[in-house]
Chains A and B, each alone.
Chain A
Amino acid sequence: MSLGGARFTGFTWRPLGRRNPVVAGLDLVIEPGERVLLVGPSGAGKSTLLYGLAGALGTTIAGELSGTAEVEGRLGLLLQNPADAIVAERMGRDVAFGPENAGMSRAEIWSRVDEALASVGLTYGRDHFSAALSGGEQQRLALAGVLAMRPDVLLLDEPTSMLDSDTSASVRDAILSAAEGRTLLIVEHRIEPWLDHVDRVVVLSADGSIVSDGTVQAFLDGPPPAGVWMPGMATPTPLDLPADLVAPDVDALSIAATDVSVELVTRTLRGMQRTQALTGLTAAITPGRTTAFTGPSGAGKSTALAVLGGLLKPNGGTVTPELRRWRSPRLAGAVGWVPQNPEHGFLTSTVGDEVRHSARKLGREVDVDRVLEVFGLGRFATSNPYRLSGGEQRRLALASALAHRPGVVLLDEPTVGQDPSTWAAVVGWITAARSTDATVALSTHDADLPIDAEHRMRDGVVA
């Protein structure tokens, strides 16, 4: 195999705790310098293939591996959860990690660090705390760490999923420029912007087998595969969900924030980083309406949701009612919140228990089987939440936070990592909650989400 090539031969992977393999007997050859887009429905095993090439399966990740996944040359992998990729306390040293491993001179290291940070649009400076970045900013930091290495093979798992369209476009340009003459394997759900820039599209089916593999033109001319956001396709119709599954069990609250300011402090004994996350936010969310907070990463969208839900104390201004002072069970009865990182939301060891957990605490009835079916998780009822794919985990986090039918529904990037059919399920829940008079607020970069009001934010201020 030549430098920059990659090859799967009879590749089969069954994660620990899963009965069936995610990928079975897969054969695939990627030639040096090829740009390949890997697509397929949520849970099809796309990320698994990247982990296979990185040599993580059967070593760092437990499970049963057979066949081979080989790659020739220096590898750069971007993980789906960017927080996991952080290896240093400050941005500069984090990006420098790859060049240091490659044994570069100090001048070369810093030249690459500055170039990579600039290419992904992170302008805070080398000494900014990595932990003080927002989810989207951490995604760009992780990407900068990969680009600075100038690897022979770039493996990118949803590199722009948490970015707004403008930032996505510039990050995509940075990736394409860095990938010039190198091998590129990208996993993405929203594929349209990539199609003009790749040589080949490989489509996986839900059972992890290859259903089509060819040029972009052949992909576009062929029958549309299931679970793929095809270019120009109409926005999927949100699933029509029965009201009894979603309708609030309590009267929904109206929540108003007036002139709210929040300063986030990342503190260590060696110093602290202050980030003005919100400045003078005035916004109201009301029953029967979906309010969206939009804007670039780091704009304060997640912070706005946390303040409205009584999960974060503002430094100034008022939030009415003051949910922050409510005790936990009372708050849970009124508010459901879906965090950006789904793994932070899991409290039990099986998917089924996770969905019934809050309802049991509050004495509410939940039809767990129907909820899991809605989100395409029915076959995982007895599985451990940590064994699910990224997209499946996000849907489970949403089901767990909302199955007990709170009156206020707060969602942080709810549609990231979803294919058209699972998107329809997630958005179906959101629209059903709205139409049954729940108060819905979300942070999103998804322009297809049906909303009633939008607060476009930038640098902590509603623009």
Chain B
Amino acid sequence: MRTLVLRANPLVQLSVGLFSLLGSFWIRSLPVALIALGAYVLVGLLLLPGWRYPLVCLGFTAIAAVTIVYSTWRLGGRDTEEAITAGLRIVVLAGPGSVMAGYVDPSRLADYLAQTLHLPARLIAAFAGALQKFTGFGLAWQQLERVRRVRGFGPSRNPLANGGYAANMSFALLVQALRGASATSIAMDARGFATAHERTWAEPAPWTRLDRWAVVVAAVLGCAPIIARLAGA
């Protein structure tokens, strides 16, 4: 059951984020916000293949939510309930989409964007090529880390110095990414990408029964705030 999310097609995966975004506009009160968030948490607990990554996403979304809560509280008459509602609205708006984006396979997404939505083939192929680079970033980070450690510039016990180390590593990864992007664009052009006018796709983009049911679930989740409001919450 926990592999269903991975087996759904990428457009379905991303539709979860789209529906949550649209549904979040109906969150106007704390009970509605709690019901909407609760629905996503419940379905997440049942269907997501792991808990660490969703928690990381939730953590990043929470940073945005806290700033919204604080600013709403300061500027909105210091109404705590309204401030918390605004914060939870942000979590419902951004959280599900950010979680689902991580499960999207770049090549499959390209297949569906090109063959189902008929977006321009070259644009989509370039987009997929860029997305797949994220898989290699982990390995590049590992290599950069090893080099720094063996050359005397690894992390230390000093938390302040480690902040600088993390910034330095991030910059090094950025340099690697930019240089890799240039080289990859050369490699892509040299494999016919520059002149690909009638591009085809190695895999089809079918819609299975699972995909159709998954869209229904995503839509119902997105409608949770509307249903809650109609039910008087």
A residues whose Cβ falls under 8 Å from a Cβ of B: 51, 54-56, 60-61, 74-77, 79, 81, 83-90, 92-93, 96-106, 109-110, 113, 129-131, 142, 145-146, 149, 151, 155, 266-271, 306, 309, 311-312, 327-329, 331-333, 335-337, 339, 341, 343-345, 347, 357-358, 361-362, 386, 400-401
Q: Which residues of B contact A83 (CB under 8 A)?
A: 136, 180
Judged by a CB distance under 8 angstroms, whether B118 is at the interface is no
Give the contacts of B116-136 with A (CB-CB under 8 A).
125, 128-129, 132, 135-136
Inter-chain contact A84/B180, CB cutoff 8 Å: yes
Q: B125 to A100, Cβ gap below 8 A?
A: yes
Whole-angstrom CA separation of A260 from B159 in the bound complex = 33
A103 lies within 8 A of B150 (CB) = no
* List of B residues within 8 angstroms of A93 by Cβ: 107, 202-203
- Whether the pair A96, B202 counts as a contact (CB closer than 8 A) is yes
B139 at the interface (CB under 8 A from A): yes
Show 18 residue pairs from A and B whose CB-CB distance is below 8 angstroms, ordered by the A residue.
A54-B190, A56-B189, A61-B182, A87-B191, A89-B105, A92-B202, A93-B202, A98-B191, A103-B198, A151-B192, A269-B50, A269-B103, A327-B156, A328-B154, A336-B150, A345-B147, A347-B172, A358-B152
* Residues of chain A with a CB closer than 8 A to B179's CB: 343, 386
Tell me if B80 counts as interface (CB < 8 A to partner A): no
| Residue from B6, B128, B143 within 8 A of A344 (CB atoms) | B143
- From A130, A155, A329, A401, B190 is in contact (CB under 8 Å) with A155
Q: A56-B186, A79-B187, A103-B198 are in contact. Are A357 and B139 (CB under 8 A)?
A: no
User: B155-196: which residues lie under 8 A (CB-CB) from chain A?
Assistant: 155-156, 172, 176, 179-180, 182-196
A100: which of B149, B151, B182, B201 is its contact (CB, 8 Å)? B201
B199 within 8 A of A: yes
B144 within 8 A of A: yes
Instruction: Given contact pairs A55-B194, A84-B183, A401-B151, enumerate 6 new A-B contacts (beta carbons under 8 Å).
Output: A97-B191, A100-B199, A110-B202, A131-B139, A142-B187, A332-B153
- For A362, the chain B residues whose CB sits under 8 A away are 152
Q: Specify which chain B residues have a CB less than 8 angstroms from the CB of A61 in the assembled complex.
A: 182, 186
Cβ–Cβ contact A104 & B200, under 8 A? yes
Is B200 in contact with A105, judged by CB distance below 8 angstroms?
yes
The B contact surface, by secondary structure, is helix
- Asked if residues B186 and A60 are in contact (CB atoms below 8 Å), the reply is yes
Q: Which 5 residue pairs are nearest across A and B when measured between Cβ atoms?
A: A328-B154, A332-B152, A77-B190, A84-B183, A101-B192
Per the bound structure, the CA–CA distance linking A332 and B191 in Å amounts to 42
Smallest CB separation, A348 vs chain B (Å) = 10
Verify B180–A87 contact, CB threshold 8 A: no
Q: Are B107 and A89 closer than 8 Å at their CB atoms?
A: yes
Q: Which of A309, A327, A329, A344 has the most CB of B within 10 A?
A: A344
With both beta carbons as reference points, the residue of chain B lying nearest to A267 in the complex is identified as B138
B4 CB, min distance to chain A CBs, angstroms: 13
Q: How far is the CA of A106 from the CA of B205 in the complex (A)?
A: 12
Give chain A nearest CB distance to B47 CB in angstroms.
14
Which residue of chain B lies nearest to A110 when distances are taken between CB atoms in the complex? Answer: B202
Q: Known interface pairs A79-B186, A109-B200, A269-B103. Does A361 touch B191 (Cβ–Cβ under 8 Å)? A: no
Given A54-B186, A268-B135, answer yes or no on A100-B200 (Cβ-Cβ < 8 Å). yes
**A341: B residues at CB distance < 8 A:** 143
A328 and B186 form a contact (CB under 8 A): no
Q: Note all chain B residues with C-beta closer than 8 A to A130.
A: 135
**B53 at interface by CB-CB < 8 Å:** yes
Chain A contacts for B192, CB-based, 8 A: 74-75, 98, 101-102, 149, 151
